[in-house]
Amino acid sequence: MTRLTRTLFSLFILILIALLSTSLSYSAESIKNTEKIEKLDIYTEIFPPYNYIIYPNKKDPASAQLTGYAVDLLNAVFKRINAPQTISNIKITSWATAYALIQEPKVKNMLFSMTKTKERLALFKWVGPITDHSIVLFTKKNSKINIFSKTDLSNYRYAAIRNDIGALLLANENILSQQIKQYQSFEHIINAINTNQAEIFAYSKQGALYLMRQHKVNPEDYKIIYILKRSPLYYAFNLSVSDTTISIYQQGLDKAKKDKTFIDQLKQKYFQ
């Protein structure tokens, strides 16, 4: 073996050792990272285009798949942090049920997508933001109702999802509880408007427009008359979840959002 050959061989061995060392270090860190992350019960509601169900085979209920902007983003976070669960583990329930569950003491769970408010701030630990969105007031297009300022809000009857941000924001404006009818689903809200149980409903702008189309309600029959709040959405965690787990999730989300190509694809898929 010539001197040049020996030198090249030695260099190859050094490079191989360095690569193996890096690989082993990464694997060890992944295992260590997994041990730090607590396994969670994760809940969501039907809240398109952020989280909802599709049926690739409409004749087969078992083909149901959870999808949406917040779901795809969370899946990207799972992969980046080597989370001990997958999207298939997420449980779908009503907002009111999930909202109560993640406030139970000493339970490791999480709910999305949630708007962070002053009233909710101390109730949960937060990872986000997921994306911006607006809570608005809709009424029938032929309605003569106009809201020019907050002082006008107390003159009308409202529909909102039970314990949802829309209901909370209305209550914060000193609207009497009997003026706010709270329901379990969007279908019930639309029915309340159509049967004159309410004149206005509070909901996410993007979510309402999507659900109208899904339920064969013409969005052109409604109009937005007021913006209650512009606020981003978050993943909300039970207070018993460790700060380490929260930090790892936040780091994973930050990394996912830095992938501008991925985020642009999400926006095009769900918001266009």
For 141-183, write each residue's pLDDT tens digit.
Answer: 999 999 999 999 999 999 999 989 999 999 999 999 999 999 9
Q: From 3.40.50.720, 3.40.50.300, 3.40.190.10, 3.30.70.1150, which CATH number describes the 133-231 domain?
A: 3.40.190.10
Q: Are 111 and 44 in contact (CB under 8 A)?
A: yes
Task: Enter the pTM of the model.
Answer: 0.73
- Measured in residues, the chain has a length of 272
Q: Kindly report the CATH number that applies to the domain delimited by 36-131+233-271.
A: 3.40.190.10
With CA atoms as reference, report the closest residue to 228 among 155, 149, 174: 149
Task: Specify the DSSP element, H or E, that contains 260.
Answer: helix 260-271
Domain map of the chain by residue range? 36-131+233-271, 133-231
Whole-angstrom Cα distance, residue 259 to residue 63? 30
What pLDDT sits at residue 60?
Answer: 84
* Average pLDDT of the chain, as a whole number: 89
Strands annotated E in 141-258? 158-161, 180-183, 200-204, 222-237
| Packed helices 205-214 and 186-194: angle between N→C axes, nearest 10 degrees | 80
What pLDDT sits at residue 232?
Answer: 93
36-131+233-271 and 133-231: same fold?
A: yes
pLDDT tier, 34 (very low <50, low <70, confident <90, very high otherwise): low
Q: What is the mean pLDDT of residues 52-56?
A: 91
What pLDDT sits at residue 188?
Answer: 97
